[in-house]
């Protein structure tokens, strides 16, 4: 089976009404689910981990969630931290991205502004602030990569956050 030469495709595509061209692009292009991990550091250099009720193995994870339509990764980080842990944060930088299959994960380094008393919910039943020199929980390799990305950001790009 021969492919249609690109110049013919372009010629046809140029003649489509704008709404139809957008629809064709939407149908043909790869779709991604975008997740945002919020790596939250407090003023003592500890990082926030949440205990997820729906994860049987390795339930302690760096917080995060799915980006909603028209939401920036920074806005997702702020929203998720408030919804999941009653924590207010300031997003500082995107420190890592990773794409696998139909999922793209974006890691956002955040600084703690304030927090309200934690209230367990259907998704999260506990939180812990982790000192990386003496972690009270097992840190998965995936989380360690994110923490390493923050350390690299702080060391190379933003010494004021050391």
Return the pLDDT at 162.
58
Cβ(107)–Cβ(95) under 8 Å?
yes
117: tokens are 């008393």
Return the pLDDT at 158.
64
Q: Is the confidence at residue 145, as pLDDT, over 60?
A: yes
Return the pLDDT at 1.
52
Mean pLDDT confidence for 95-105: 90
* Whether the predicted model's global pTM rises above the 0.85 cut: no
Strand partners, 96: 107
Return the pLDDT at 22.
82
Question: How high is the mean pLDDT of the chain?
Answer: 89
Percent of the chain residues topping a pLDDT of 70? 96
Range list of H helices, 59-135: 73-85
What distance in Å separates the CA atoms of residue 109 and residue 124, rounded to the nearest whole number? Answer: 20
pLDDT in tens, 48-82: 999 999 988 889 999 999 999 999 999 999 999 99
Tally of helices (H runs) and strands (E runs) in the chain:
4, 7
Cβ(87)–Cβ(48) under 8 Å?
yes
Q: Is the confidence at residue 159, as pLDDT, over 70?
A: no
Q: Is the confidence at residue 2, as pLDDT, over 70?
A: no
Q: What 3 state SS string does 39-64 have? A: EEECCCCCEEEEEECCCCCCCEECCE
Q: pLDDT grade, residue 21 (50/70/90)? A: confident
- Reported as type and span, the H/E element at residue 11 is helix 6-14
């Amino acid at each position: 089976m021969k492919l249609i030469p690109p110049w013919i495709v372009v010629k046809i595509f140029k003649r489509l009404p704008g709404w139809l061209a957008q629809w064709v692009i939407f149908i043909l292009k790869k779709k991604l689910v975008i997740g945002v991990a919020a790596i939250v550091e407090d003023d003592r250099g500890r990082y926030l981990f949440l205990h997820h009720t729906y994860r049987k193995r390795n339930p302690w994870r760096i917080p995060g969630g799915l980006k909603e339509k028209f939401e920036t990764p920074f806005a997702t980080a702020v929203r998720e931290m408030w919804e999941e842990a009653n924590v207010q944060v300031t997003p500082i930088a995107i420190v890592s991205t990773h794409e696998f299959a139909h999922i793209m994960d974006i890691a956002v380094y955040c600084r703690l502004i304030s927090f309200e008393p934690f209230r367990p919910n259907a998704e999260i039943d506990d939180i812990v602030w982790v000192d990386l020199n003496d972690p009270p929980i097992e840190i998965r390799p995936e989380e360690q990569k994110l923490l390493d990305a923050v350390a690299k950001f702080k060391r190379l790009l933003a010494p004021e956050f050391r």
